[in-house]
Amino acid sequence: MTYADAIDTPLRDGQIKIHDRSVAFPAMVAAGQVAAACLDMLGGEVREGVTTGRLDDLARQFVFDHGAIPACVFYRGYRHTICTSLNHTVCHGIPGERALKDGDIVNIDVTVIVNGWHGDTSRMYGVGDVPRKAERLMDITYEALMRGIAAVKPGATLGDIGHAIQSYAESERTSVVREFCGHGLGRVFHDAPNILHYGKAGQGAVLKPGMIFTIEPMLNLGSPSVKILNDGWTAVTKDKSLSAQYEHSVGVTETGVEIFTKSPAGLDQPHAIKA
Ligand code: MF3
Ligand code: CO
Ligand code: CO
């Protein structure tokens, strides 16, 4: 790393960075809006017969065309711009030859770097005629994300976020994946703190203005257990039940929360848009 970057390495003791909001928040909006616009664009391309590799090619081109860099390319040996997680894939599905089929549900997750700052967001998309139980899971997952975001304000705790998500998800008879979590981000992709999507109200670190992190709950219709396939990336449900995820990058403001990755076109829930 260069000396200039040294101040932005992940903090050793799990301390949570307090960003200068006048600098960091506009930069996070710039990055978040490219990531969100990329997902908007991909919504027009998701259809039966399209391969996940084609979606990845389109995403990479879009990112470069918008003056950004795909954060996942070369990240820990990953080689793609997006993750495409289909049906019982929980996260980190690798784009390739697989063509989308009628009835599939797919999470597309993109992280971009704009002027050194990261925008990280994902949404669910349905292909053609999606089973009612899959629609329901996607609805619940979006609502769980938004309830987690609604818990973010100065003085609230990380446990409040996890509790808001878990209590809602479980009340709807879905389960919360434990092995993956949200994360601090900014000039670092995966920074402190871990944002657990389960927890107890009032526990954990207290939120302060200037903190920046993702919230990205993964909910399953069956058991919460996951396993990693031999490719070293793809996480799937052990019981092959359907899984869904939504993700936003957010910052803590003086009074509440700012979402950096809101869709500029109002397409935050593509799974709910009927062709
Ligand atoms: N975007 C993912 C996240 O939400 C990370 C993907 S890492 C990759 O944190 F290498 F798989 F792309
Ligand atoms: Co993330
Ligand atoms: Co992501």
Is 247's C-beta closer than 6 angstroms to any atom of ligand 1? yes
Q: ω into residue 131 within 30 of 0, thus cis?
A: no
Nearest CA, atom 2, ligand 1: 109
Closest ligand 1 atom to residue 72 Cα is 12
Angle at 22 between CA 153 and CA 38, to 5 degrees: 80
Q: Which atom of ligand 1 is nearest to the CA of 78?
A: 10
At 10 the pLDDT is 65
Of all atoms in ligand 1, which is nearest to the CA of residue 76?
A: 10
The single-letter code of the amino acid at 127 is: V
Q: How far apart are CA 142 and CA 273, in angstroms?
A: 13
Structure tokens at 104: 């599939």
C-alpha 188/C-alpha 8 separation (Å) is 7
| pLDDT one digit per residue (tens) for the chain, 275 residues | 444 555 566 666 679 999 999 999 999 999 999 999 999 999 999 999 999 999 999 999 999 999 999 999 999 999 999 999 999 999 999 999 999 999 999 999 999 999 999 999 999 999 999 999 999 999 999 999 999 999 999 999 999 999 999 999 999 999 999 999 999 999 999 999 999 999 999 999 999 999 999 999 999 999 999 999 999 999 999 999 999 999 999 999 999 999 999 999 999 999 999 76
Coil, strand, or helix at residue 38? helix
What's the 141 CA to ligand 1 centre distance in angstroms? 18
Coil, strand or helix: which one is 232? coil
CA dist., res. 107 & res. 126, Å (int):
9
Q: Check residue 14 and give its pLDDT.
A: 75
Cβ atoms of 33 and 41 closer than 8 Å: no
Ligand 1 neighbourhood includes 228 CB (under 6 angstroms): no
d(CA 274, CA 269): 11
Q: Output the pTM of the full model.
A: 0.96
- The predicted structure's pLDDT at residue 249: 99
Q: Return the ligand number nearest the Cα of 121.
A: 3
